[in-house]
Amino acid sequence: MDYYKTRLFLALSGLLFAIVWVLPNVVPVKKWITDNRLNYGLDIQGGVHLVMGVDVEGVVSETVIRQARGLEAEFAKENIQATFATPKASDGEIEITPAAGQADKLKTYIEKNQSTLLQLFSTEGEKLTYKYLDAYLTDYKARIISQAIETIRNRIDEFGVSEPSIAAQGTDRILVQLPGMADAERAKELINTTAKLDFQMLNYDVPADKLAQLISEAEKAGNYTMGNMKYSEYVDRLNKDLAGQIPANSVVYFEKRDNAQKMELGSLPLLLKTDTGLGGGDLDNAFVTYGQYGEPEVALKFNAAGANKFAELTGANVGRQMAIVLDRVVKSAPNIKDRISGGSAVIQMGSAGTGRDQAIREAQMIATSLRAGALPARLEQLEERRVGPTLGADSIKKAELGAAVGALLIFIFLLIHYKAMGAVAVSSIVVNILTLIALLSAFGATLTLPGIAGIALTIGFAVDANVLIQERIKEELAKGASWMAAMKEGYSVAMSAIFDSNITVGATALILFYFGTGPVRGFAVTLLLGILTTLFGNVFFSKVIADTLVYKFGIKKLSI
């Protein structure tokens, strides 16, 4: 009897848990033990589907250029004389031309200190071409995508989107799905604000008028302007056309003039050095502040390493201009008056007048993006689809109708065919589904159409388990066994077949979960949870009901 009481307590506790976690999905509750509800996927409630291209090659190029600058500094300390070039930086190649008699010393140094990173790729006369190891380059590109995904996820989480789906697509794309997104434009803006921050020194080797002339000639020769291209595409094209006409390790970016509504209507070209090595990765925090006249600003706080870099950079360039570049747009280019050792900087957003609200909004967006993490690479939106909730609403209504009709037919069959024990089976199936929905709610799972299919399949397993139990009981009764003995034997013998079927389904679900992505994994999770709830509801709970009727209420036999 004590064993029965323990099982009764566990059964009632499981039922109470199911009711508590399912209730918020059914009725609005202001205060409850939990307010967790099922989240519905993009295919059910609609939302935004975005595919973002990741500029992986651009990050590799920057890394190679910085590596070359680092080697140059190391060689200077070791008295190794050589010249550097990075014509194929996106391929991970660095060309080094050692001075006469320095080749062996150079090779020995790289082999000793950089053998895990660089390998000698080719030799052409005195020129040595080193290249990043293929394994390292592949892993590095994968880490760029992984870091970009994590950063986007942090931003979306800070924005408050429930259960976003963010995953790699190929080697240079990221798929972003935002179910039920009400403010889609704001979310897109947050994602597209890549917030790739760089601090770059101005290069004065080319006078401003000469630079403007070179830009005009390049535009005329290529028949393009900033007005008829995306800014990112324009900058890429322009710097490609200016290669060889501007100093090495330099790039042309633009600053929007204060009175200009758009960049193409009033831009100031600036020639910047690319080897500063100070960027968004050196930040510790970013937040919105206000200047002397109420103009919004983004205050930047560097981490310890970044503060040291910033102090050294400003100390070595007193009297020169430093450009604060966000997503390849120059936000400001102040003169450095003195060494800045406090580890802080400010991005001035401009207008304190009519454009103040827009400037504040932009400042908040930039601060949020930087605080959530600077993306390692520039993003470009390649595809956008608005998925309306109408199709999902139709699907969910049809699924609900189909589930209700199917369940009703199953219940009628069980009641007619198995009579009183059929009622026990119906009760156990209801508990099974309640428990499954409760678990999905407790885990904060996202329910998609494949997940609904998994629930339907779980009902099938539940019916199968009940049929096995009922038929075994009928077989024992046909042999002449007493009701209590038949019931005990029926549950005991049927368990082996129930376990066999659920173990095979569980193994399949685990494989789907491991190798699948997105909806397939959702289907697998629903199946795995369904196995647990089937064993609880249709085996454990139904046995407790039958035992209660026999032991508690003294019923000698149930019709079956």
| CATH number, domain containing residue 366 | 3.30.1360.200
Of 329, 352, 385, the position where a domain reaches its end is 385
Q: Are 17 and 533 in contact (CB under 8 A)?
A: no
Q: How far is CA 94 from CA 69, 87, 116, in A?
A: 10, 8, 15
Residues 440 and 539 in one domain: yes
pLDDT per position in the chain (560 positions), as tens?
567 788 888 888 888 888 888 887 777 665 556 666 777 776 677 777 888 888 888 888 888 887 888 888 889 888 999 999 888 888 889 999 999 888 999 999 999 888 888 999 999 888 999 999 988 888 888 888 887 887 777 667 655 555 677 888 888 898 888 776 655 566 667 676 656 778 899 999 999 999 999 999 999 999 999 888 878 889 989 999 999 899 988 999 998 887 777 777 788 999 999 888 787 777 777 777 887 777 788 787 888 888 888 888 888 888 888 888 877 888 878 788 778 787 787 777 655 444 667 777 677 766 665 665 556 677 777 887 776 665 556 666 777 787 788 888 888 988 998 888 889 889 999 999 999 988 888 877 777 778 888 888 888 888 888 888 888 888 888 888 888 888 888 888 888 888 888 888 889 989 988 887 667 877 888 889 999 998 898 888 888 888 888 777 777 777 87
Residue at 17 is within a domain: yes
Tokens of 289: 């502040």
Q: Are 129 and 68 in contact (CB under 8 A)?
A: no
Residues 356 and 397 in one domain: no
Enter the pTM of the model.
0.52
Residues 415 and 540 in one domain: yes
CATH number of the structural domain spanning residue 94: 3.30.70
Range of the domain at 212: 193-385
Work out whether strand 446-447 and strand 379-387 pair parallel, antiparallel, or are unpaired.
Answer: unpaired
Residues 378 and 393 in one domain: no
Of 137, 169, 203, the position where a domain reaches its end is 137
Residue at 229 is within a domain: yes
Residues 372 and 392 in one domain: no
Residues whose CB is less than 8 angstroms from the CB of residue 141 and which lie 6 or more positions away in sequence, other chains included: 56, 60, 171
DSSP 538: I
Residues 504 and 357 in one domain: no
Residue at 49 is within a domain: no
Q: Are 414 and 466 in contact (CB under 8 A)?
A: yes
Residues 416 and 349 in one domain: no
Residues 333 and 259 in one domain: yes
Residue at 115 is within a domain: yes
Residue at 245 is within a domain: yes
Tokens of 526: 């629903």
Paired residues of 332 in beta bridges: 324
Q: Give, for 300, the enclosing helix (H) or strand (E).
A: strand 296-302
DSSP 264: G
Residues 91 and 80 in one domain: yes
Residues 430 and 536 in one domain: yes
- Quote the CA–CA distance of 557 and 551 in Å, as a whole number: 11
Q: Are 22 and 447 in contact (CB under 8 A)?
A: no
What's the structural domain count of the chain?
3
Of 94, 119, 137, the position where a domain reaches its end is 137
Residues 313 and 380 in one domain: yes
Residues 207 and 288 in one domain: yes
